[in-house]
Structure 1
């Protein structure tokens, strides 16, 4: 009998052990559904069950005001970053939940180091923060466009590892998900946006230019994942051709992470014992 897949089967080898563990992004099938229940309805039911658990755990995180959680979502255009946020967190209380979408840096942001704008958005105590795109755009896009040479790229990898180590050492648990779709799946999703006038706002002509550089982006992702997956900030490759499977897998990963934090509500206040509200 085949072994049941585990979440760590999709974890990118840690940076300091990459010489021992082999990794190739192309080895991961974007159409795989290792954590599916077998049907879309079943996946949605499972997602709802996880959502209820995450809601309770996230409330405890917020009440405790000690730990922080950062979820990073990266992926090619149309990989489903927005959809993942909507599906996974629709049952989670927005109190203590913050979503940060990163776009092209402004002139003011470009006048600082590339991590300046990112550090300002890091989660505060008791907060779950979701980065929809992230600082990884700054080692993907410029690499593909030829704006960073090898030395500058390696320098940014090193700075990212240091930045994430700082967050981890000061109480932030980091989970990073690369939403992995196929080129054919992206073609269908882009065409659907073009064919539906109500979705034109989600389409940008630059998406077509980026698509022409598909292989370069895949190589850039491979290198970035390999260089920045660490014990304190691991990367996971999420097969994302199936939207419902993608959502379930991210939710399962987040649930495991929250349960591992051993969260507890703050101690009861003795000063409230016996208090009656008139």
Structure 2
């Protein structure tokens, strides 16, 4: 388990490169054992979720980013299947609305943060503002930012400031009890192609296909550069990035669960103690209940 954390957690941002990460890596795990291993991990996570709620000191924010067809939706469904839905919330962020464009780019994400004691999952996140907008800088113009009237106004300093805003946002959250895990599901271009073909060939998967996904595929190298730079700029001790191989979905789910479990374990969660004066009344209350007719 520890090796999975070490393999995928980005700590050396200076020498980080996505090319060093094998999208088909599965460590020493075997597919035939995956379901049993995953179920065991989910059971442990569920037990800690209860303590997270009872403790009420921390919130856990899990961020998923990936290229299309990398398996974000299925990863969330499988790895979070054992959680109590009352203590978990999932947000999927689409193109900003008119109202959202009228606020700063972090506003809608701040509104979706989990409360203390809860787990929040963001399917795509505030990182879209340094990913899709970097590949398509014309989208930034919709934000009506002072001094940004044309694409040529969006220079390197603009992106530096945006990375800085993200790091400040996340640092503020962690100082106030929100624990952040950021996952990049790293799928290969070849595997994405196979998954797109499956969506076209299988009737029950047709609904998942979008011609827009093919258009974005044409920008693959630009997206890889944008992801690499974003991870280098924003992977910190308080809000680390994990780059997980995503060509084998069964292993991706195991890796996600390992990281979530170890993160929760690291919080040393404890059930709150009952005050002595209240506990002293337990015998009296117990007798009262037992003597009910």
Whether these two folds match at TM > 0.5 is: yes
Greater mean alpha carbon deviation, residues 101-110 or residues 146-155: 146-155
CA displacement 1:114-152 (0-9 Å, x = unmatched):
000000111111011111110111110111113343222
Unaligned runs of 5+ in 1: none
The answer to which structure has the higher helix fraction is 2
Instruction: Report if aligned partners of 1:143, 1:149 keep a CA contact under 8 Å in 2.
Output: no
The reply on whether 1:179 has 2:185 as its aligned counterpart is yes
Task: Work out the CA distance in 2 between the residues paired with 1:239 and 1:70.
Answer: 21
Partner of 2:104: 113
Task: Work out the CA distance in 2 between the residues paired with 1:108 and 1:47.
Answer: 40
1:232 aligned counterpart, secondary structure: coil
CA displacement 1:151-210 (0-9 Å, x = unmatched):
221111010000000100000111101000000000011111112232222221110000
The reply on whether 1:215 has 2:213 as its aligned counterpart is no
**TM-score under structure 2 normalisation?**
0.88
Instruction: Report if aligned partners of 2:26, 2:251 keep a CA contact under 8 Å in 1.
Output: yes
Cα displacement (A) at 1:12: 1.7
CA displacement 1:9-67 (0-9 Å, x = unmatched):
222236xxx44xx1110110100112x522x2311111100110111100111122111
Cα displacement (A) at 1:95: 2.1
Aligned match for 2:29, one of 26, 37, 45: 37
- 5 Å matches for 1:155-234? 155-234=161-240
Alpha-carbon RMSD? 1.5
Unaligned runs of 5+ in 2: 139-153
Task: Work out the CA distance in 2 between the residues paired with 1:204 and 1:228.
Answer: 30
Cα displacement (A) at 1:266: 1.4
Task: Work out the CA distance in 1 between the residues paired with 2:97 and 2:205.
Answer: 25
The reply on whether 1:123 has 2:114 as its aligned counterpart is yes
CA displacement 1:250-276 (0-9 Å, x = unmatched):
000000000001011111352561223
Aligned match for 1:9, one of 1, 7, 18: 7
Query: Greater CA radius of gyration, 1 or 2?
Result: 2
Instruction: Report if aligned partners of 2:4, 2:258 keep a CA contact under 8 Å in 1.
Output: no
Task: Work out the CA distance in 2 between the residues paired with 1:13 and 1:253.
Answer: 15
Partner of 1:52: 43
Instruction: Report if aligned partners of 2:4, 2:255 keep a CA contact under 8 Å in 1.
Output: no
1:95 aligned counterpart, secondary structure: helix
Cα displacement (A) at 1:105: 0.7
Aligned match for 1:90, one of 81, 100, 125: 81
Cα displacement (A) at 1:86: 0.8
**TM-score under structure 1 normalisation?**
0.92
Task: Work out the CA distance in 2 between the residues paired with 1:198 and 1:236.
Answer: 32
Task: Work out the CA distance in 2 between the residues paired with 1:95 and 1:58.
Answer: 11
Task: Work out the CA distance in 2 between the residues paired with 1:252 and 1:119.
Answer: 27
